[in-house]
Amino acid sequence: MMTNALQNIRQLSLDELQAAMKDLGEPKFRAKQIYEWLWKKSVTDFEAMTNLSKPFREKLAEKFTILPIKLYSAQHSNDGTIKTAFQLHDKHFIEGVLIPSTDRATACVSSQVGCSLACKFCATGFLKRERNLEADEIYDQVVFINRQAQESLGRNLTNIVFMGMGEPLLNYSNVMEAINKITSEDGLNMAAKRITVSTAGISKMIKKMADDGVRFNLALSLHAADDEKRNAIMPINEQNNIASLMEALIYFEQKTKSEITFEYILMKEVNDSIEDAKNLVALCKQIPNVKVNLIEYNTVEGVDLQRSSVEKQEAFSKYLSSQRVIANIRRSRGKDIDAACGQLANKMK
C-alpha cells in the first residue's frame, strides 16, 4: 500500500484513536497505550511499541503511518550553538537551533516552511511560504533538540522559543496543538512558562490567545516603535499597526498575566536613536509586565542594513534603564553558521 494512502496516526486525538481501535476490533485501552508511545515516549515506529503484540503492530502499520522529521545536517558553532536542518516527509526543509548558555538550554523551533511576511531584516522572509508545519512536526523538533542537549550538554532543554522559520500565529491550531503535546502530562510534560511564542504581530490572533487562556509567554517582534518606520521594515504593520497591537497586548496581559517581551533588533540609522528609545519607552509604559530584548542585527545576504555600533546599543539600553524599563542586550549566538536571529534560510551544508 502506498504511504500517502495511510493515515498519519499522530493527527488523531485520543478520542479519535479510541474510535479507530473500535473499528479495528481492538479494546479501547489500546488507544491509550499507543498515545503514550507516540507522545510520552516519542516513538516513531510501530515496531518499537513493544507492549503491543506483533500481529497488532502489523495491523497498525497496514492502516496508519508515522511521518517523523529526519536529520538532514547539523552545524556546530564555535560558541556551542547547533543548527539542524530537518527534512520533512514531502522533501521540504526546516531548521531548528539549540542555544546553550550557562544556566539554560534553549530550543528555537520553526512553525512554517518558509514565511509569507517578508520582514526586511530576516532571511526567512525571502523564502516562499510553502506550507504550515503539522503539530507532530513541531513536536519532533523539540524531541530531537532535547536529545542534542542531553548528548552535548548533559542536560535537558530548559526553554523553547517559537522564533525559527515562519509566523506561529499564521499556523495557530497546529502551534497550539504542538504546545499542548509538549506541556501535557500525557506528553513531554514541559512547563508552559518555559515556552515563548514570538509573533511579528497579528492583533486578532493575540486576542484569540488571550481568550484561549494560554499559559506560555508572548514575544512581539517590534523592531520600531512608530508606524512609519515599522511599515518600512515589516509590511505586516500596514494591517496590524502599533495602536492595534498595543490594544491586543494589553488585553493579553490582563487576561493571562503572562510576561510580554518586545524584541527589538538595533539597526544602524534605522531605529537606534534616543528618539526611537523614547518612543519605545512610551509603549512599554502601557503594559505592566513587559521587558525588552535588544538584539544585534545579523547580516542577511542581499540586504542593505547594518548593525548599530556597540556605543549606540549601550546608549539605547542605558536610556531604557533610566526610564525603568527592563532591557537586556542579547548578543547573537551561532553567527558563524547562520543560526543567529534572522538568519535561518535553509542554507544546507
How many percent of the chain have pLDDT more than 90? 84
Quote the CA–CA distance of 25 and 5 in Å, as a whole number. 21
238 & 308 share domain = yes
Residues 195 and 280 in one domain: yes
In the predicted model, is pLDDT for residue 346 greater than 80? no
Instruction: Round to whole Å and give the CA distance between 81 and 104.
Output: 12
Judge whether 123 and 339 are in contact, CB under 8 Å.
no
Return the CATH number at 17. Answer: 1.10.150.530
Structural domain includes residue 145: yes
- By C-alpha distance, which of 274, 177, 183, 263 is closest to 218? 263
List pLDDT tens digits, range 80-96. Answer: 999 999 999 999 999 99
**Cβ contacts of residue 310 below 8 Å, gap of 6+?**
none
Q: Which domain holds residue 24?
A: 3-65
Number of domains in the chain: 2
Residue after which a domain boundary falls, among 39, 65, 91: 65
Please tell me which residue, 334 or 294, carries the higher pLDDT value.
294
Q: Which of 26, 95, 137, 296 is catalytic?
A: 95
Q: What size, in residues, is the chain? A: 349
* Structural domain includes residue 345: no
Output the nine-digit C-alpha cell for 142. 523539540
* pLDDT > 90? residue 141: yes
Say whether both 18 and 123 belong to one domain: no
Same domain (yes/no): 15, 97: no
Co-location of 151 and 242 in the same domain? yes
Residues 182, 98 share a domain: yes
- What average pLDDT does the chain have? 93
Positive or negative: CA dihedral 122, 123, 124, 128: positive
Band of residue 340 on the pLDDT scale cut at 50, 70, 90: low
Q: Does residue 199 belong to any structural domain of this protein?
A: yes
Q: Which one from 108, 119, 284, 341 is the annotated catalytic residue?
A: 341
Domain assignment present for residue 114? The answer is yes
Is residue 343 situated within a structural domain? Answer: no
- For residues 237 and 230, the answer to whether their CB atoms sit within 8 Å is yes
Do 250 and 291 fall into the same domain?
Answer: yes
Query: What pLDDT score was predicted for residue 341?
Result: 56
Are both 285 and 306 inside the same structural domain? yes
Is 296 a catalytic site residue? Answer: no
**30 and 115 share a domain?**
no
Paired strand residues for 75: 83
Q: Is it the case that residue 295 has pLDDT exceeding 90?
A: yes
Q: Kindly provide the b/e burial profile for residues 138-148, where b requires at least 16 CB atoms within 10 angstroms of the residue's own CB.
A: bbbbbbbbbeb
Of 166-180, 211-225, 300-314, 333-347, the range with the lowest mean pLDDT is: 333-347
What's residue 107's pLDDT? 97
Residue 90 counted as domain residue = yes
The continuous run of DSSP H or E covering 31 comes out as helix 29-39
pLDDT on residue 3: 44
Mean pLDDT of 225-253: 97
Same domain, 94 and 192: yes
208 falls within a domain: yes
What CATH number is attached to the domain comprising 333? Answer: 3.20.20.70
Angstrom CA distances, 132 to 3, 30, 94, 144, stand at 20, 30, 11, 19
Instruction: Specify whether 8 is located in the same domain as 104.
Output: no
End position of a domain, from candidates 46, 65, 84: 65
Residue 342 lies in a domain: no
Residues 33 and 170 occupy one common structural domain: no
The pTM of this model reads 0.93
98-121 pLDDT tens trace = 999 999 999 999 999 999 898 888
User: Is the Cβ–Cβ distance between 110 and 95 less than 8 Å?
Assistant: yes
Domain boundary among 65, 85, 117: 65
pLDDT band at 127, cuts 50/70/90? confident
Of 208, 157, 165, 209, residue with least CA distance to 183: 157
- Give the DSSP H or E segment for 144: helix 135-153
**Least-confidence region, from 99-103, 235-239, 272-276:** 99-103
> 10 Å Cβ neighbour count for 2?
6
DSSP 338: T
- Asked whether 282 and 320 are in contact (CB, 8 A), the reply is no
238 catalytic, yes or no?
A: no
